Structure 1
Amino acid sequence: MNSLPLFHRIAGQRVVVVGNGDAADAKRRLVERAGGIPCGEPEAHHARLAFIALDDDRQAAAVAIRLRTKGLLVNVTDRPAMCDFTVPSVLDRDPVLIAIGTGGASAGLAKHLRLRIEAILPPALGQLAAKLNAVRDVIRQRFPDMAERRRAIDAALSEGGPLDPLRGDAAERVDSWLAANHSAVDARTVEIALTSDDPDDLTLRQARWLGVADVVLHDAAVSSEILARARADAVRKEIGTDILPAGDDGLTVVLRCP
């Protein structure tokens, strides 16, 4: 991964768009769709982001330099090497946004990946997100312990769970999920015998375990690509150092090299 994916809030803010023609018009529409206000280079002092859609390489590079010196992050259409940021293909299930990027390598590939995913996700997915946001305080009261709350939500949103995001009626089931009795998740440990350093060789079950594990214990030689599949906030310990136990509940995954 050579880029950090971020969602930048631009509602009500000016965004510089330099250029004419279809490419520049598309950037202006994109800015407006996100609630931003397209403007020209003379208003750059009001902006933090800029899109440059110019055919001439030297002209585009000159504009990019001028805008960077004013503190703006710059995207230059079809010139990834000149870009501070790239624009992903966006699947919009407001407030759920799924962004698919290739670092500027192929906008076409990003688009077709989005179209495949779009066919899988139900149109009501945004309603589920909005409902979960609306009952955020209720969820905190129902599960006051943060770790317990995360595990309960993970279980509900998992494949086949009561709030499975691929269910078209998931939003309608939130209230009944909150009202149900929830038993504590027993502590357990699973061991994964890796077959290679390639995360694509993980089985679907192994990938799910890594994605929800509270603690990841691993051999020293386990690749960083495998470890990157674990939750960012999971506790990670190399086997052979002072091992931190999982606690009274939760999932511990042990990764063993081949």
Structure 2
Amino acid sequence: MNQLPILLNLKDRRILLLGNGEMADAKRRLYERAGAVITDDEHASGIALAVVALENDDEAMAAVERLKARGLLVNAVDRSALCDYTTPAIIDRDPVLIAIGTGGASAGLAKALRQRLEQLLPAGLGVLSVALYQSRERIQQIWPEGAARRKAIDAALDPNGPLDVLADHKMEDLEAWLEQPHGQARSQVIDLELASADPDDLTLRQARWLGQADQIFASDDVPEAVLVRARADAERFTLSFWDEQPTTGLTLRIRMKI
């Protein structure tokens, strides 16, 4: 690891942005989204970070040298060798943030990883985070001992747990867990009709179900590329193992605990 990922609170903090055009506009949108105040005045006071998005190489290098001489941390757009820090590809499930960086090696790779992970992470992940935060006192009352509390939360958030992080949740799901924190899990059987043999054609819901399944029953024509999207520890069976045959076509039948 040659970089330390950190999350900065930039709300109402001043960010120096030098440059115009598409690169500068993209950075402006990113920092304003984080609540920062953008300025192009190098002499402004209270600057937290500096961004150089100048297209001319000589002008960019000169600006970086000036700003670093003032002790500022600088991000030089598309010039990783000059950067004190880089901005990652971001998955935003406010207040949950997931950052993907390559140390400036390839923004395209970071983007591709973000797009792939976006398919797996439910839109309600932020709702779950807020619900857990608002229920801290109640959780502490149910599990007053720290070790027991951590174990209970881990079990709830685990695959197939009542608050599985790869499943969509509402505030009512947390309430149900707190009402029966020691309740027994039950099983659910789901049939998946696949659009094609290409794993990239899985829907978001299908990808989540595969990631949660305890047992996978697959017809012979389901390719390995699809099956590897399931949990590594999920049991696999041929579909003929199941007494009742589903419809024809590329079919997965999965059993999961909920």
Is contact 1:11–1:35 with CA below 8 Å preserved after alignment? yes
In 2, distance between residues paired with 1:41 and 1:70? 14
Correspondence for 1:166:
166
Q: What is the root-mean-square deviation of aligned Cα atoms in Å?
A: 1.8
- The 4+ residue runs of structure 1 with deviation greater than 3 A are none
Is contact 2:163–2:174 with CA below 8 Å preserved after alignment? yes
Going from structure 1 to structure 2, the CA distance change for 1:157 and 1:170 (only over 3 Å counts) comes to farther
Q: Which amino acid aligns with 1:108?
A: G
In 2, distance between residues paired with 1:135 and 1:43? 46
In 1, distance between residues paired with 2:142 and 2:60? 55
- Offset, 1:44: 4.4
Q: TM-score, normalised by structure 2?
A: 0.68
* 1:142-197 CA-partner distances (Å, limit 9, x unpaired): 222222211111100000000001221254311121222439xxxxxxxxxxxxxx
Correspondence for 1:70:
70
In 2, distance between residues paired with 1:76 and 1:55? 10
1:128 corresponds to 2:128 = yes
Going from structure 1 to structure 2, the CA distance change for 1:144 and 1:69 (only over 3 Å counts) comes to farther
Give ranges in structure 2 of 5+ residues lacking alignment.
Answer: 184-230, 234-258
Greater C-alpha Rg: 2
In 1, distance between residues paired with 2:174 and 2:105? 40
* 1:5-56 CA-partner distances (Å, limit 9, x unpaired): 1111101111110111110111111111111111114344311111100122
Q: TM-score, normalised by structure 1?
A: 0.68
Going from structure 1 to structure 2, the CA distance change for 1:181 and 1:99 (only over 3 Å counts) comes to closer
Superposition pairs of residues 1-258 of structure 1, within 5 angstroms: 1-169=1-169, 171-182=171-182, 204=232
* 1:233-255 CA-partner distances (Å, limit 9, x unpaired): xxxxxxxxxxxxxxxxxxxxxxx
In 1, distance between residues paired with 2:171 and 2:157? 11
In 1, distance between residues paired with 2:27 and 2:174? 38
In 2, distance between residues paired with 1:30 and 1:42? 20
Q: Which amino acid aligns with 1:84?
A: D
